A and B are shown apart, each in its own frame.
Chain A
Amino acid sequence: MAGEQLALTVLMGVFLVGVVALLSRMEDLRTYTPLGSGSAGYGDETSHGHKPAGLIRWLTTVDHKDIGILYGVYATIAFVWGGMSVMLMRLELTTPAMDVLAGLGGNAFYNGLLTSHGITMLFLFGTPIIAAFANYFVPLLIGADDMAFPRINAIAFWLLPPAALLIWGGFFLAPLTGGAVEAAQTSWTMYTPLSAEQANAGVDLMLLGLHLSGVSATMGAINFVATIFTERSGKVNWANLDIFSWTILTQSALILFAFPLLGSALIMLLLDRNFATTFFAVEGGSPILWQHLFWFFGHPEVYILVLPPMGLVSWILPKFSGRKLFGYKFVIYSTLAIGVLSFGVWAHHMFSTGINPRIRASFMAVSLAIAIPSAVKTFNWITTMWNGKIRLTAPMLFCIGFVANFVIGGITGVFLAAIPIDLVLHDTYYVVGHFHWIVMGMIAFAGFGAIYYWFPLVTGKMYQKTLAKWHFWLSEIGVSITFFAFLLLGYLGMPRRYATYEFSGAIAPLTQITTLHQVATVGAFIILFGQIIWVWNMAQSYIEGPVVQDGDPWDLKETGQHSREFQWFEEELTADEDSLALTDGGESDDEIRADGGEVEAAVRRVDDE
C-alpha cells in the first residue's frame, strides 16, 4: 500500500513538473500580447513590451486585462470539471439502479460528484467568469487606467487556484488515503446536521476552500466598488455609465454583504465540526439557523451570478439590433431593485421547513415582487429588438437565447415562489430544472455571447462563425431538451439529489421517469458536444484565426454604437500601425486625427444613451 502511494505521488509530481515544463515551452504563452498589453489606456503609447516573458509574466501581472484572461482560463477549467462531473451523473441516471458508477464508489461517489458539480459551477465557474469580463472591460468602459487596486486584484485571483484544490481535495485524497478522506457529500447547500456530522475530512477541506474563494470574491468586489466610484474618466458620470458596469457595481454591493456572511457561517460550521461548538446544533442555534444564514447568502448569490450576465446582454443585444437599449434608465432601476429585494427573499427556500406561516407569506410576497423588475428587463430587451435591424451573429444568438431561456427559467421561478405550489414541487427536479434554465440557459449563455463578442478585441483574431453557430444551436437545443425533461420529472414527483430511483410505482410512474431521465441524458450529451465545439473553436481560432485589422469588427459605427472598449481597440490597432508606418511622415498623422474625430462623434452618440 505504501509503495503504491509513493508511486502515485511520484507520478503526480512528474505530471505536475511536466505540465509546468509544457506551459513554459508553449510558444503562444511567450509571444501572446493582447493588443496593447502594457498600455495604460487611451492614447498612451509609451509602454509596449515591458512585461516579462513566459510563465513569469502571468504570475506577476497586475494588469487588469491579463488578470481578466487568467480569470477566464480558470473559469473554463472549472467549467470543464463541473461539466465532466455532471456527465458522469447523467450517465448513472439513465437507469434506475446503481450501475455505471458502481465500480467507482457507487452512491457516495455520485453524492461527491453532485456536491462538486454545484459548488464548482457556482463558485469556481460562475463568479470567476463574471470577474473575467469585469476585470477586462470595466476599466476600459469607464475610461480608467486600471482597477483602483491592481495588486489586490492579482491577490484575489491567486487565491482561487488553491481554493479550487481544497474544494476538490477530497477527490484527490481519496485514492491517496485509501478512502479515509473522500469528496465532500453535502450537496452545495451544505445543510446541517448532515454537513456537521459527516466525519469525512473532505468536507472540512471544501469548507476551507469555499472560505478562501469567498475572501477572493470579497476582495474583488471591494476593488470594483472603489474602481467604479473613483476611477471613472471625466466623461463618464452616473447618467452615462454603461449598463454592464452598473450591474457589476450592484453585484459587488451584493457580494459585500453576502459572501462575508457565508464566510462566517462556514467558519461556524467548521468550529461545530472540529471544536464541539453548538452553532448549528439542536441545543444551540439549531440546524434551521444554517438554512437562514446560508440562504441569506444564497439568494443574493443567485443575483450575484445573474445580474452581470443581464448587464452583458443589455450591452451586446442593442449592438446587433441597430438600436440603443430601450429604457436604459429603467433597466438600471430594475437592476438596483433586484439588488435590494434579493436580500428579502431568502426564506422562500425554506417554505417547507415549518417556519412561521406569517413570515412565510411575507417572503412569498417579496419573492413574487421580484418578477416585476425581471419583467421590466425582459420587455426592454424585446422592445430593443422590436423594429430593429437584427443581425444574427453568434453573440446575438446567445443573447436572444438568453432572453428566451429567461422567460422559461424566470416564470417557473414565479410558480415556485408561491407557497402552495412550492410545497408540492419542493426538492423535486422541477426546482433543479428551474434554476438550470437560469444558470445554464442564462448565465452561461451570456458568458458565451460576451466571449464571442469580445473575442476579436481580446485575441486580435476572429473566431469561426459557423462553428459558433453550431455551438449556439446545440447548446440551445440541448438545454431545452434536458431542462424541459427536468421540469416534467419534477411534475411527476422525482426527488432531486438521488443517485438511484428504484421506487414503487405508487410514488411515481417509473417508466416515464426512466424515459425522461434518458431524454435528459441525451440532451446533456448534446450540450456537451456543443461545448466541445466551443473549446475547439476558441483554441483553434486563437492560434490560427484570421487577424482582425478593423477596429470595428462588428460594424458598430453605422449605428453610432462604436463604444469605448472598441474605440480603445481601434486606437491600439492604429497605434501599432502608426509605429510601423512612422517613416511615412505626416500623412498617417492626419488620418489618425480624422479618425479620432469620428470616434469622438460616436462617443457622444453612445453616451446619449
Chain B
Amino acid sequence: MSHADEEEDGGHHLPAVEDWPRGFGEASWWPFVTAIGAAGIYLGAAMYVLSTGDSALVPLSYGLGTAVASIGLFLVGLYGWTYHAFIKAYWTSESTGVGLRMGMLAFLGSEIATFGAGFIYYFFVRADAWTDLPHLVESGNIFSSLVIVNTVILIISSVTLHYAHVALRDDDRRRFVGLLGLTLLLGVVFLGGQALEYYEFIAVEGFTIAEGAYGSAFYGLTGLHGLHVSLGAVLLGIVFVRSLFGQYTPEKHTSVTTVSMYWHFVDVVWIFLVVVLYVGAIISV
C-alpha cells in the first residue's frame, strides 16, 4: 500500500505514506488516537470536578481512571505518530528539518505567553497585594541553598547539552552520547530537587498552594515550570534512546536541535523565575 517509492518527482510526497495499521496513502489513525487521548485527559479533569463538592455526581475513581487511561492512550498515540513520522524512515527521509525548527520556534513564542500570564499575576501581587506573606518569605528561607544548587544544575545541563550538540557536529559520537546522557541525568536530578523542595515546603513547613497570594504564584509558576522540565526530560530521553540506537549524524540532527532549543528556553525561564519569584520575593525596596 505504500507509495514511498513512487515519489520521484522532486520531493513531492504524500504525508503518512507508511503507517500503521496499514498504509492508507493519506491517512493515519495516530492523530485521532492522540487527540482522543488528549481530550480524555480533559474529560478526566471534568469528572474530577464533578466528583468534588457537597454532592458528588460521580465517584472520584472515575475521573482518575479516565485521566490515567487517557494519558496512556495519549502516549500510545504520540508514540505511533512520532515513530511513523520521524523514526521509522529516519535514514531515508530527506527532510531538512527547517519546518520543524520553525515550528519549535513558534511553539516557544507561544510558551512566552503561557508563562507570561503567571508572571503577570505575580507582578500584580508583588506590586500591590504584598501582605500576609508566608513565613518562608518573611524569613527569607524561600531562597534556600537547594534552589541555588538546583539552578546551577540546570545551567550546567544547558552547557552539557550544547557541547553534546557540538560533539555530534564534530562527529565525536561517544562524547555526544555521553554528554547527552549527562544532560538527561542533570534534568532528572533537578526534578528530584524540585520534588524535595515541594516536600519540604508542603509537608514540613506547611506552605501550600492555598497559602495566600504568594502561594498561588509560587506553586503556579514552579509547577508550570516543573511540568515543562518533565516534558523536556521526556524529550531528552527520546533523543538519548535514539542516539543509543545509532541515529543522528553531523548532517541529520533536527530533533537534537529542536530539543536543545526547548531545553535552553526552559532553562532561561527558570533563571528568570528564580530572580523574580525567589530572590524578588525576599528583596525589599
Q: Which A residues are within 8 Å of any B CB, using their own CB?
A: 38, 40-41, 43-44, 46-47, 50-52, 56-57, 59-63, 66, 145-146, 148-155, 157-159, 162-163, 166, 169, 177, 180-181, 199, 201, 204-205, 208-209, 211-212, 215, 218, 221-223, 225-227, 229-231, 252, 256-261, 263-265, 268, 271, 274-279, 281, 283-286, 289, 292-293
Contacts and interface: CB of A to CB of B under 8 A. Distances in A.
A271 B220 contact: yes
B212 interface: yes
A40 B7 CA distance: 10
A166 to B, nearest CB: 6
A140 to B, nearest CB: 14
B238 to A, nearest CB: 16
B113 A166 contact: no
A256 B120 CA distance: 17
B113 A208 contact: no
A61 B29 CA distance: 8
Interface in B1-58: 1, 3, 6, 9, 12-16, 24-32, 34-36, 38-39, 42-43, 45-46, 49-50, 52-53, 55, 57
B212 to A, nearest CB: 6
B209 interface: yes
B57 A289 contact: no
A205 B25 contact: no
Contact of B31 (A62, A212, A225): A62
B94 interface: no
Nearest to A209: B42
B76 interface: no
B103 A62 contact: no
B103 A225 contact: yes
B81 to A, nearest CB: 5
Given A62-B27, A154-B31, A278 B212 contact: yes
Contact of B106 (A47, A256, A293): A256
A158 B32 contact: yes
B107 interface: yes
A208 B92 CA distance: 41
Interface of B: 1, 3, 6, 9, 12-16, 24-32, 34-36, 38-39, 42-43, 45-46, 49-50, 52-53, 55, 57, 81, 85, 98-100, 102-103, 106-107, 109-118, 120-121, 124-125, 128-129, 132, 209-210, 212-213, 215-216, 219-220, 224
Contact of A226 (B12, B106, B128): B106
Nearest to A151: B31
Nearest to A203: B49
A56 B216 CA distance: 45
What are the nearest 4 A-B pairs in CB distance?
A50-B25, A158-B35, A162-B39, A154-B31
B39 A159 contact: yes
7 contacts: A47-B6, A57-B27, A155-B34, A162-B43, A201-B50, A285-B129, A289-B124
Given A155-B35, A158-B32, A277-B210, A62 B117 contact: no
Given A268-B121, A277-B219, 4 more contacts: A151-B15, A154-B31, A260-B114, A289-B120
B97 to A, nearest CB: 10
Q: Which of A151, A211, A276, A279 has the most CB of B within 10 A?
A: A151
A257 B30 contact: no
Given A50-B3, A265-B117, A154 B216 contact: no
B112 A226 contact: no
A86 to B, nearest CB: 26
A279 B121 contact: yes
Contacts of B6: 46-47
A56 B26 CA distance: 12
A177 B26 contact: no
B39 A163 contact: yes
Given A146-B15, A277-B216, A155 B121 contact: no
Contact of A47 (B3, B34, B98): B3
A289 to B, nearest CB: 5
Nearest to B11: A145
B220 to A, nearest CB: 7
A201 B53 contact: yes
